[in-house]
Structure 1
Amino acid sequence: MTKPTSRHQRYQRIRTLALSVGMVLGMVAATFGPQLAHAARASKKILSEKFVALPDATPEQLQAADRVMVGSYECEFGKRVSVGANTKNKGYFDLTLGKQSWIMKPVLSSTGAIRLEDVKGGTLLIQILTKSMLMDVKAGRRLVDGCANDTQRAAEAELAKQPPRESIFGTPQPAGNQ
C-alpha cells in the first residue's frame, strides 16, 4: 500500500511540473517564434507585391497581344503551362506553371517570335510557330521546353506533310527525297 503524501509534497510536485511545462513552452516559443514572425512579414510583402499597378499597354504591346497563343500547353516531362488574358490589365497575360504564376507583357521580336516577358523580369516565354519555351532569365536556364498547344501541334503536323525543300546552301537532298 502506498503511503499518503502530505500536502507539502503534493504542492512541490505540482510546482515542479508547472515549471517544467513552462520551460518547455519557452523553448518552443524561442525556436519557432522568429520563423513565425518572418512568415507573417513575408506573406504581407507577397500580398503587397501582387497588387502593383501596371502601366497601360502601348500600341506595340497591344499589337503583339493579338498574336499571343492562349490556352493550355503540354510540355516535356508531363508539365503543363497555361496562358490566359489578364482580366484586370488589357494587353497583359497570366502565365501559370504548376503553383507558380506570373503576369506577362507581350513583345514582338524581329524574328517573328512572340516574347512574353515577366513584368518583374524573372521569366520569359518564347512562342514560335511549332513550340514554346519558358525560361528563368535570372538563372539563365529553361524551366520547361517543348511546350505546344493545339494550334502549334496543328502547325507541326502541317509542316510534316510538306515535301522537303532544297537547302539555301545547295546541300544535296537524300536519295529517297528526290
Structure 2
Amino acid sequence: MIRPFIAAATALACMLSAASAGATEPVKKAAAKAKAVKATKAEPPLPAAEDEQLAAAAMTHFGDYQCEQSKSVQVAMNPKFDGYVDVLFGKQRWTMKPVLSSTGALRLEDVKGQTMMLQIAHKSMLMDVKVGRRIVDECMHEKQAQAKAEAQAQPAAPSMMGN
C-alpha cells in the first residue's frame, strides 16, 4: 500500500523537477536578454580626435569658472577619450568636443547635441542649444579674468571716426 504512494510521490517529484528546470530556462533567457539590452544602451566610444580637435582641446581653459548668480562650472579633460572634455554644472555632466571657430572663439560642443559652452577672451557661457537659451552666463576662468584686466589696463585705441 505504501509502494504505490511512494511511486506516485517519486513520479510527482520527477515531474516537478523537470518543470522547474524548464521554468528556469525562460528566466535565464530573459536575464541574458536584459543584459544584452543593457550592454547596447552603454555609450559607444567616441570617434578618435583629429589634429584640429586636439589643438582646440589644448586651448581649453581647464578648471573652475565663476559665473553669475554665484554659480560655477568645472571643465576637465575626459579621462577616457583624448581630445574631449567634460563640463560639469550642478549635477549635470556633458562630454564635449572642442571646436575652434573662425572668429577665434572656442566652442565645446556636447557630443549628444544638447549643450554648448562658448569660450571667448573675457568670458564663457553654457547654452542649451535645443531650447536656444543660456543655462548660465558671465562665467570666467582665472585666465579670462586676467585677460580682461590686462585689456582694461591698455589705453583706448584711436577711433576710426577721427573724433
TM bin (shorter chain): 0.7 to 0.9
- Which residue in the other structure is 2:29 paired with? none
- Which residue in the other structure is 1:158 paired with? 150
- Which residue in the other structure is 1:48 paired with? 41
Aligned: 1:137 with 2:129: yes
Aligned: 1:68 with 2:60: yes
Aligned: 1:100 with 2:88: no
Q: Which runs of 5+ in 2 are unaligned?
A: 1-33
- Which residue in the other structure is 2:81 paired with? 89
Aligned: 1:118 with 2:110: yes
Q: How big is each residue's C-alpha offset from its partner over 1:68-93, in whole Å with a ceiling of 9 and x where there is no partner?
A: 11110000011100000001000000
Q: How big is each residue's C-alpha offset from its partner over 1:95-121, in whole Å with a ceiling of 9 and x where there is no partner?
A: 000000100000010000000000000
Partners in 2 of 1:77 and 1:94 — Cα distance?
A: 22
Q: How big is each residue's C-alpha offset from its partner over 1:110-133, in whole Å with a ceiling of 9 and x where there is no partner?
A: 000000000000001010111001
Moved over 2 A (4+): none
Q: How big is each residue's C-alpha offset from its partner over 1:120-170, in whole Å with a ceiling of 9 and x where there is no partner?
A: 0000101011100110000000001000011011111111111111233x1
Partners in 2 of 1:67 and 1:120 — Cα distance?
A: 22
State TM-score, norm by structure 1: 0.67
Deviation, 1:171, is 5.7
RMSD: 1.9
Partners in 2 of 1:60 and 1:142 — Cα distance?
A: 27
State TM-score, norm by structure 2: 0.73
